[in-house]
Structure 1
Amino acid sequence: MIRTEVSADGRANPEAMQAAIDERTALVVVSAPCYPFGVIDPITEVAALCETRGVLCHVDACLGGYLLPFWEALGQAVPPWDFRVPGVTSMSADIHKYGYAFKGASTVMYRDRDLYQYQIFMYDSWPGGLYASSTAAGTRPGSPIAGAWATMNHLGIEGYMRLGQRVLNATNGLKDGINSIDGLKVTSNPDMSLFEFGVDPLSESGRSLSIEAIGDVMDDRGWNLDRQQGGLHVMTSPGHDKIVESFVSDLDFAAKNHGAARGEEHMYGGVVSS
């Protein structure tokens, strides 16, 4: 696996990706969006260079796959990211994120059936005869599949549109509120409902702020924010449209009244970094 540098805005760098492609490259992966900053990679450009070089292009839309279509239907500007982009050959999307099912439900989609055949594993050189599996997990529990089916049928298009609007309202309210606080700024220009915010490097008042200490005050006031190396991380859900005002009020208090940082760790899931 080869990792390439990203651009200053947190998005993939097509030039760096092109330079990294060689005769051993099997697949190029882009995000819609990436987790840290909520930005969508320049998928049209990357997919075009993949098509030119004869390389598969996969879109990791695990976060955006079940939200971006509904934001687009609501009139929100969404960068091109799916099979409408020539050169995109596969996509993945988690139903247990903005599909609102419980953990363990995800989808992978291919542009054509010819690619799908390579997902299937078959083996017959053992006493049990032919063994075949279409996923990495040979034996899968049925409960996540049943739960995803029930959730999607219960919500339907109307339900996903309604929840998508609430997420959009919460996202815009939080971003506007954070940017209104002197010395704080949302990082990059997020395309979706998750983003990082930190100290504004161009703000004079921002020089006296400690984003780590602000996070400590927010913890003490009952807000559970993920911590990243560059700031604090927010991922909005439909219910967050009810707490925008109180969150921004507490964040403003934290920016004006924080002390020294306690040295909390930066984490994603169960992995911790200092």
Structure 2
Amino acid sequence: MSDDASLEDIFAVPAMGGGAPKEGFPEKEMFSDVAYQLVHDELMLDGVSRMNLATFCTTWIDDKARRLMAETVDKNIVDKDEYPQTAALEQRCVRMLADLWHAPDPASTRGTSTTGSSEAAMLGGLAAKFRWRARGGTGTPNFVCGPVQVCWEKFARYFDVEIRQIPLSGDRLTMDPDQVAAYCDENTIMVVPTFGQTFTGLFEDVAGVSAALDELQRRTGLDIPIHVDAASGGFLAPFTAPDLAWDFRLPRVKSINASGHKTGHAPLGAGWAIWREAADLPEELVFNVNYLGGDMATFNLNFSRPGSQAITSYYEFIRLGRIGYTRLQTAIYSVARHLAQGIAQAGPFEVIHDGDPQRGITAVSWGLAGGQDFSLYDLSDRLRARGWLVAAYPLPDDRGDETIMRAVLRHGFTHDMADLFLADVDRGLQHLAAHRPKTPLTSEDGGGFTHNATAAVPLPGAGSQGKAPF
């Protein structure tokens, strides 16, 4: 058998007579066509990525982006001496993002591509910790946030920083700026608003948090910086809500992280960390290495990785520009608003985020009105039977008894697909009405999301961790 045997031959060769190797490292080799077919066929069991409304990540890229990815997958982005043009494209992206996010001097700011916004967030947190230490900070540092993505819990645990999560109060679904000062003290290295909250898709009020910290500084002298986690919103608001102040227009914002592979149209593995000014990235975080052929600076958590994600990001930036990004992002917001209207009309739902570009990302989130004999986990299960993956999960602490669903819409999700999804929601509701579950599914039954997060910190005076004097 030749290595380029036809498909008909592959299914009759001896190697296909048993299962794919699963236990232990295989002893024998096999033809590449056979190995490919085995892997290809197993992956058929995965879901269809474009029907996955739980993920925030890119599920559609154009053919030229795929071509660039394939052509540059062997370029090691850290090896700037060997691949100087890849390094140049990365730095062009940094300057473009600094300009997009209104840095005072985009040409001199510092930033880097990362494997995603989780790495970028940790770099922003480490920079804040090092700046705090340089100011004379001692003891255990802390940072203040609302409901956050797990990367911030990892940052707190891995780098020995106390996380002070403000619990949801009343009917609020985001961090309340009026409560921020009560959680801050001399060991607070930063406050982290989430610009596109994971749970609901809503924007947290960065300008409100900044104003609260301005007032705290006026009263106490504490000058606490902001790091904005703009994992999803960083590539949306500049084009669809340009007057919304959340970025470096607010002087207290010292750094921003964002995922190019979420709403930036880049492939998986593309994130960005940008600092307001060069001085906001402490030199202690920058390492110079000379064993790849030349002296070069690096300040990432990892080292070797493909340059293809940064290259493809640059391709998208120059292909679309401000006009193109505005057109594409406006289109997906339009689909989100259409879906939200359909959800509101479909059944006993209460829409939380309706895809308004002034309030949040291109997502729709909703809860279930009271008095129903099924749960959102039941509905999620019915939708999964039709191929749709939709997240259902409890809200964070202090509202953890409330379950919501969230559909994240990305480039490639069309008006027609929204109609198909709404038809399946209606079909699922009809099924649940005709076959009422004896016991509604729970998060564990449905394989849904459960929190393992650090508990939110109550207000000082009510058993607070790290009681703040202000």
TM-score tier, shorter chain, comes to 0.7 to 0.9
- Note closer, same or farther for the CA distance 1:66–1:115 as it changes in structure 2 (3 Å cut): same
Classify the secondary structure of the residue corresponding to 1:238.
Answer: coil
C-alpha displacement of 1:167: 0.8
1:4 to 133, 141, 166: 166
> Among the aligned pairs, what percent are the same residue?
24
Counterpart amino acid of residue 167 in structure 2:
E
Distance 1:35 1:142 in 2: 28
Classify the secondary structure of the residue corresponding to 2:372.
Answer: helix
Gapped runs of 5+ residues in structure 1? 125-129
Classify the secondary structure of the residue corresponding to 2:430.
Answer: helix
- Note closer, same or farther for the CA distance 1:183–1:209 as it changes in structure 2 (3 Å cut): farther
Distance 2:297 2:204 in 1: 35
Partner of 1:31: 194
> What value does the CA root-mean-square deviation take over the aligned residues?
2.5
Greater RCO, CA 8 A, separation 6+: 2
Counterpart amino acid of residue 175 in structure 1:
A
* Matching of residue 193 in structure 1 with residue 336 in structure 2: no
Partner of 1:99: 264
Partner of 1:234: 407
8 Å contact from structure 2 (residues 350, 366) kept in 1? yes
Distance 1:157 1:188 in 2: 26
Counterpart amino acid of residue 231 in structure 1:
I
Counterpart amino acid of residue 70 in structure 1:
F
C-alpha displacement of 1:44: 1.3
C-alpha displacement of 1:142: 1.5
Distance 2:349 2:281 in 1: 46
Counterpart amino acid of residue 380 in structure 2:
G
How do residues 60-99 of structure 1 correspond to structure 2 at under 5 angstroms?
60-72=229-241, 79-99=244-264
8 Å contact from structure 2 (residues 178, 212) kept in 1? no
Distance 1:108 1:118 in 2: 15
Classify the secondary structure of the residue corresponding to 1:227.
Answer: strand
Partner of 1:56: 225
- Note closer, same or farther for the CA distance 1:117–1:227 as it changes in structure 2 (3 Å cut): same
Partner of 1:127: none
> TM-score, normalising length from structure 1?
0.83
* 1:2-51 deviation line (CA, Å, top 9, x unaligned): 22213433110223321111111111100111111011112112112334
Distance 2:419 2:296 in 1: 56
Classify the secondary structure of the residue corresponding to 2:250.
Answer: coil
Distance 1:219 1:266 in 2: 12
* 1:84-111 deviation line (CA, Å, top 9, x unaligned): 2342222111111111111221112222
Gapped runs of 5+ residues in structure 2? 1-162, 290-294, 395-402, 453-470
C-alpha displacement of 1:209: 3.9
Partner of 1:17: 180
Distance 1:213 1:163 in 2: 33
2:348 to 169, 172, 183: 183
> TM-score, normalising length from structure 2?
0.50
- Note closer, same or farther for the CA distance 1:119–1:94 as it changes in structure 2 (3 Å cut): farther
Distance 1:72 1:116 in 2: 28
* 164-173 vs 113-122, greater mean Cα deviation: 113-122
C-alpha displacement of 1:177: 0.6
Partner of 1:221: 386
Distance 2:408 2:254 in 1: 28
**How many residues are paired up?**
256
Partner of 1:150: 315
Distance 1:254 1:43 in 2: 38
1:266 to 448, 452, 456: 448
Classify the secondary structure of the residue corresponding to 1:107.
Answer: strand
8 Å contact from structure 1 (residues 196, 232) kept in 2? yes
* Matching of residue 254 in structure 1 with residue 428 in structure 2: yes
Distance 1:142 1:106 in 2: 12
